[in-house]
Amino acid sequence: MLHKKLLFFLSLFALLFLLSVFAFIGWDKVAGSQTLEECRHDPVGKNKENLSSCIELANATGDSRLHFRLGVAFANGEGVEQDYVKALEWYRKPAAQGSSGAQYNIGVMHHNGQGVQQDYAKALEWFTQAATQGHPKAQYHIGFMHYNGQGMPQDYAKAYEWFSQAAANDLGRAQNYLGTMYSYGQGVPQDYAKAHEWYRKAALNHNPKAQNSLGLMYLNGVGVQKDYAEAFEWFSRGAELGDSEAQSNLGAMYEKGNGVRQDYAKAFEWYQKAALNGVHMAQHNLGLLYVKGEGVAQDYTKAFEWFGKAVRNGSYVAQNSLGLMYVNGAGVQKDTAEAFEWFSRGAELGDSDAQNNLAVMYLLGDGIPKDFVRAYMWHSLAANQGNQLALRNRTEIMKRLTPEQITEGQRMAREWIEAHSD
């Protein structure tokens, strides 16, 4: 009898042991597939079976890290079809358990309207939960919302406060914004030395926008001694990291030979990269290279195309270039009426070259009635901006005008300035 009882207890012990083993395996591994650590590292793996087992494991264990990782996979489309709604579902549990990363990601989804309706108030709520735990990107986003007045009145002081917290956590994009705020005196007194300090910190953290801004400071001698070599260095870094403005500025350095040996082919290369990303200055400069045949075969048709793209992207100097193409019939049928239209547009926007060319059309009566007084007015406006050609032209036209006409032209110029002043 004792022997039978002993066998019973041993059997019961063995059964409990096996159950505990299976339970342990069940918590760490499903169907002999992915372990918890494997799922945390890569919930998708090489096939859909891995994803299914990781989802089962996440539901069985409630593991917060795995829930978060699945959210990231669905949000970014890592091995699965991108699905913001599913991403949000997986983020909720870790967010409720205090995961600043999940809280931040939910904030981003509300901010951008990904998987949910865009809601700045909810975005701010989630960002704040993450930011109070020291999440640098959440701190940055709160600053960004205050800076741009998203869901709240624009407030540079609060933006500065949050950017400062993120910058203290070594976030490059926040450091870049502090540089911008000191550069333009937004929420703080304008201070180019501090702007340079923050731009440099951000630049050393591989922020391409800061690298471009730092290059501009050295190029123009703002807050630092003018140094073309330093400007070239920082534009190069930003350009290599894909910043289109830095690419455009690097192209200009090569074209002018500032800080580097002049190289039109290199200028064309970098202008083209920036131009394809929609930078109107690069598009205009690319057009000029085609006109002059520098770094590329001369091609007026392509020049005309790039000038048109630059205008559509907001370039006012390209309007003057289009006017020149029409007046000379280069890359397009000669059309003085179109030339007059483009010179007029550029002139009204304050481009001194367009103002000078518009004055010449009035002087010569090229497609329009001659008007020496208006010619004097536009030459004067261009000359007042330091346009040397316009200054010489104004001196010549004054020889043809009466004192009364000069007085009238000066009055018209004053009225234009008053109408176009801020």
Q: Where are the domains of the chain?
A: 28-83
132: pLDDT strictly greater than 60 = yes
Confidence class of residue 4 from pLDDT cuts 50, 70 and 90?
low
pLDDT exceeds 50 at position 342: yes
Whether the Cβ atoms of residue 218 and residue 196 lie closer than 8 Å to each other:
no
pLDDT given at position 271: 98
- DSSP secondary-structure letter at 272? H
Pick the most confident of 49-63, 307-321, 363-377.
Answer: 307-321
With a cut of 70, say whether residue 200 has pLDDT above it. Answer: yes
Grade residue 197 by pLDDT with cuts at 50, 70 and 90: very high
Contact at 8 Å (CB) between 379 and 349?
A: no
Mean pLDDT of 153-173: 97
- Asked if residue 280 has pLDDT above 70, the reply is yes
Query: Span 153-157, mean pLDDT?
Result: 97
3-state helix, strand, coil in the chain (%, to 5): 75, 0, 25
Single-letter amino acid code for the residue at 199? Y
Lowest mean pLDDT among 33-37, 167-171, 268-272, 407-411: 33-37
Average pLDDT (156-167) is 98
**C-alpha distance from residue 365 to each of 128, 357, 360, 392 (Å):** 65, 12, 8, 19
Question: For 398-410, what is the mean pLDDT?
Answer: 94
Are 318 and 285 a contacting pair, CB within 8 Å?
no
- Asked if 30 and 3 count as a contact pair (C-beta separation under 8 A), the reply is no
Of 244, 238, 242, the C-alpha closest to 279 is: 244
- pTM of the predicted structure, to 2 decimals: 0.84
When pLDDT is cut at 50, 70 and 90, the band that residue 47 belongs to is low
Q: Does the pLDDT value for residue 12 go beyond 60?
A: no
Q: Which of 56-65, 134-143, 245-254 has the lowest mean pLDDT?
A: 56-65
DSSP summary character for residue 30: S
pLDDT at 49: 73
CB atoms within 10 A of CB 29: 16
Looking at residue 203, its pLDDT comes to 98
Q: Using pLDDT thresholds of 50, 70 and 90, give the confidence band for residue 44.
A: confident
Q: What is the DSSP letter of 242?
A: T
What is the average pLDDT score of the chain?
91
Element containing residue 256 per DSSP (H, E): helix 244-256
160-164 contacts, C-beta under 8 A, 24 or more apart: 160/186, 160/187, 160/188, 162/131, 163/139
Confidence of residue 259 (pLDDT cuts 50, 70, 90): very high
pLDDT at 46: 65
d(CA 363, CA 336): 14
Note the pLDDT of residue 20: 44
Per-residue tokens: 224: 């630092």
Q: Mean pLDDT across the stretch 286-308?
A: 97
Average pLDDT (120-141) is 97
* pLDDT value at 34 more than 80: no
Q: How far is CA 384 from CA 346, 360, 392, 398, 407, in A?
A: 16, 16, 12, 15, 16
Report the 10 Å Cβ neighbour count for 227. Answer: 16
Average pLDDT over residues 225-236: 97
Q: What is the mean pLDDT of residues 118-132?
A: 97
Of 170, 167, 340, residue with least CA distance to 179: 167
Kindly provide the residue ranges of all beta strands, DSSP E only, lying in 184-278, ordered along the sequence. none
- Per-residue pLDDT band for 13 (boundaries 50, 70, 90) equals very low
Q: Residues 235-251: what's their mean pLDDT?
A: 98
